[in-house]
C-alpha cells in the first residue's frame, strides 16, 4: 500500500490517535526524543481506525500496522482499558464503547458506577492497562505494556485527565487519577509506564539508523 502523504524525513513518529487527551499525554511523554512527532490530523488522515478485536494487544497491533501503512512513517498506537474485577474484567478493550458508541466520558463513568452500586469497597479493585504498539512500515509491530492498580471510587473526583480518571482511585496516593497534577500522572500512569518502555525501543531504532553502514 503506498503512503497517502508526501515523503517526510525518516525520523518522524506518527502518534496514531484522534483522542486529544491521549495525544497530549503521549506528546509530553515522548516529546524530548530526537523525533518530530505528528498525528493523523496533521497528515490529513481523517478516518479513525476501528478497534475490531477483543484484546488491547490486538487492537494496538492492528492500529499501528494500519497507520504505518497509510502514512509510511514510524507509528505508535496504543489501546488502553479499565479492567474491573467485580465486572469480570470489563470494560477492558471495550472501555471507549462501554456505554454505547456515542457515549461521553460522563456517560461511561455513570454506567460503571451504576453497575457497581452494590459492590463494597474491598471488591472494587481495578486496573488501568495500556498496550503500546510500535511499527515501522513493512515490519511487524512491537508491543509493550504498562499498568497501574487501584479501586473504583463511589463518585467522581477531580477535574484533570480524561476518560475514567475521575473514578480511578490510587490508594498509595489517596487520590483519583483526575486529582493528580499532570507531572505526577505522567510518572505513574499506565500510559507513562508503557511509554517508558516504548522510548527504549525508539531509542534503539534511532541508534540502529544512525549506525547503518558505519557501526
In a domain, 19, yes or no: yes
The pLDDT score that the predictor gives to residue 7 is 45
In a domain, 103, yes or no: yes
In a domain, 56, yes or no: yes
Q: For each of the chain's 215 residues, which pLDDT tens digit applies?
A: 445 554 444 589 999 988 888 888 888 889 889 999 999 988 888 776 666 778 999 999 999 999 999 999 999 999 999 999 999 999 999 998 898 888 999 999 999 999 999 999 999 999 999 999 999 999 999 999 999 999 999 999 999 888 999 999 999 999 999 999 989 998 999 999 999 999 999 999 998 888 875 66
- Check 54, 78, 79, 118 and give the catalytic one: 79
Q: Which CATH number is 84's domain given?
A: 3.90.950.10
Residues tagged in the binding site annotation: 17-22, 50, 79-80, 162-165, 185, 190-191
The pLDDT score that the predictor gives to residue 9 is 46
In a domain, 196, yes or no: yes
Q: What is the DSSP string of 179-203?
A: GS-HHHHHHHSHHHHHHHHHHHHHH
In a domain, 205, yes or no: yes
Number of domains in the chain: 1
Is 79 one of the catalytic residues? yes
Confidence (pTM): 0.87
Sign of torsion, CA 109 104 160 157?
A: negative
In a domain, 35, yes or no: yes
Q: Locate cell 478516518: which residue?
A: 47
In the 8-state DSSP scheme, what is residue 55?
S
Closest C-alpha to 57, from 194, 201, 196: 194
Q: What does the pLDDT look like over 110-125, one tens digit per residue?
A: 999 999 999 999 999 9
Residues tagged in the binding site annotation for substrate: 17-22, 80, 162-165, 185, 190-191
Contact 14, 39 (CB under 8 A): yes
Closest C-alpha to 208, from 17, 200, 104: 200
The pLDDT score that the predictor gives to residue 19 is 83
In a domain, 2, yes or no: no
- Domain span holding position 196: 12-211
Q: Residue 157 and residue 173: Cα distance in Å, rounded?
A: 14
In a domain, 173, yes or no: yes
Cell of 118: 452494590
Angle between helices 190-211 and 20-30 in degrees, nearest 10: 50
Amino acid at each position: 500500500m503506498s503512503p497517502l502523504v508526501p515523503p517526510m524525513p525518516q525520523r518522524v513518529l506518527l502518534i496514531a490517535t484522534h483522542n486529544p487527551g491521549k495525544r497530549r499525554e503521549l506528546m509530553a511523554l515522548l516529546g524530548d526524543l530526537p523525533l518530530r512527532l505528528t498525528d493523523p490530523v496533521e497528515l490529513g488522515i481523517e478516518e479513525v481506525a476501528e478497534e475490531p478485536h477483543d484484546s488491547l494487544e490486538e487492537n494496538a497491533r492492528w492500529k499501528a500496522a494500519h497507520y504505518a501503512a497509510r502514512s509510511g512513517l514510524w507509528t505508535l498506537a496504543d489501546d488502553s482499558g479499565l479492567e474491573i474485577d467485580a465486572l469480570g474484567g470489563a470494560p477492558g478493550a471495550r472501555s471507549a464503547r462501554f456505554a454505547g458508541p456515542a457515549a461521553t466520558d460522563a456517560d461511561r463513568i455513570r454506567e460503571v458506577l451504576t453497575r457497581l452500586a452494590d459492590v463494597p469497597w474491598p471488591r472494587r479493585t481495578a486496573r488501568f492497562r495500556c498496550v503500546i504498539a510500535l511499527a515501522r512500515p513493512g515490519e511487524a509491530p512491537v508491543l509493550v505494556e504498562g499498568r497501574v492498580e487501584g479501586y473504583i471510587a463511589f463518585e467522581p473526583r477531580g477535574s484533570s485527565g480524561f476518560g475514567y480518571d475521575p473514578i480511578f482511585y490510587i490508594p498509595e496516593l489517596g487520590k483519583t487519577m483526575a486529582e493528580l497534577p499532570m507531572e505526577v500522572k505522567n510518572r505513574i500512569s499506565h500510559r507513562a509506564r508503557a511509554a517508558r518502555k516504548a522510548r527504549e525501543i525508539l531509542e534503539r531504532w534511532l541508534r540502529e539508523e544512525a549506525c547503518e553502514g558505519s557501526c
